[in-house]
């Protein structure tokens, strides 16, 4: 069973605790979300997200966006969109496909556990605990979503896919990008 731990790099930061914007994955599930099993073609096409979709969040014209994608693992594709006028302005995410929704749920649960373990290790080493915990559940994005303090990335599960938005750096902007990707699936 593949886990998202490899995608999230090494997770090192505080310990999880409940906060007002956290819910369990069952509570976070979108009521209107179909139980869709997406194909490999969806992953290979970056979920249908291209320069046109990246232009708005980057605040530039689609013609000024350079799109790149590469196969990271047999089930994961990395997708990057860069403003040609300023290479530091990027939008980047990976999209991972599991064979079933149950496998994707299991991988997502493993990712949460990995974030918590890394957080506990960091807390033991430094004695510091982040105010919000290791991660924050993000409501209304996909079937379930978490933002990790350690890697600054938003992980979103939709059906049998997991989308990990790394850029932009701000979690609200990451959530908007994830919603845009999901809308195009």
Q: Residues 142, 158: contact at Cβ < 8 Å? A: yes
Residue 10 lies in a domain: no
Annotate 151-169 with DSSP letters as a single string.
T--EEEEETTEEEEEEESS
Residue 5 lies in a domain: no
Q: Which domain holds residue 86?
A: 15-183
Identify the CATH number of the domain in which residue 103 sits: 3.40.1000
Q: How many structural domains does the chain have?
A: 1
Residue 32 lies in a domain: yes
pLDDT digit string (tens) for the chain, length 185 residues: 333 333 333 232 333 323 333 333 333 344 444 578 999 999 999 999 999 999 999 999 999 999 999 999 999 999 999 999 999 999 999 999 999 999 999 999 999 999 998 888 888 888 887 767 889 999 999 999 999 988 899 999 999 999 999 999 999 999 999 999 999 99
Residue 123 lies in a domain: yes
Considering Cα of 12, then 15, then 18, then 20, what sign does the dihedral take?
negative
Residue 6 lies in a domain: no
Q: Rounded to two decimals, what is the model's pTM? A: 0.80
Residue 4 lies in a domain: no
Secondary structure class of 64 (helix, strand, coil)? helix
CA distances in angstroms from 112 to 4, 103, 116, 171, listed in the order given = 9, 14, 6, 17
Residue 2 lies in a domain: no
Angle at 97 between CA 153 and CA 16, to 5 degrees: 35
């Amino acid at each position: 069973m593949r886990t998202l731990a490899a995608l999230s790099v090494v997770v090192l930061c505080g310990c999880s605790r409940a906060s007002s914007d956290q819910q369990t994955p069952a509570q976070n599930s979108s009521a209107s979300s179909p139980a869709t099993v997406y194909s490999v073609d969806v992953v290979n096409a970056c979920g249908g997200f291209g320069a046109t979709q990246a232009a708005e969040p980057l605040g530039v014209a689609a013609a000024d966006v350079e799109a790149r994608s590469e196969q990271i693992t047999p089930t994961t594709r990395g997708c990057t969109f860069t403003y040609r006028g300023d290479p530091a302005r990027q939008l980047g995410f990976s999209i991972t496909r599991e064979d079933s929704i149950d496998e994707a749920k299991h991988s997502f649960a493993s990712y949460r556990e990995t974030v918590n373990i890394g957080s506990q290790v960091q807390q033991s080493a430094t004695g510091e605990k982040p105010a919000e915990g290791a991660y924050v559940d993000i409501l209304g994005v996909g079937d379930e979503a978490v933002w990790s303090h350690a890697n600054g990335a938003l992980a979103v599960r939709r059906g049998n896919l997991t989308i990990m938005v790394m850029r932009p750096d701000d979690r609200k902007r990451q959530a908007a990008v994830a919603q845009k990707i999901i809308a195009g699936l």
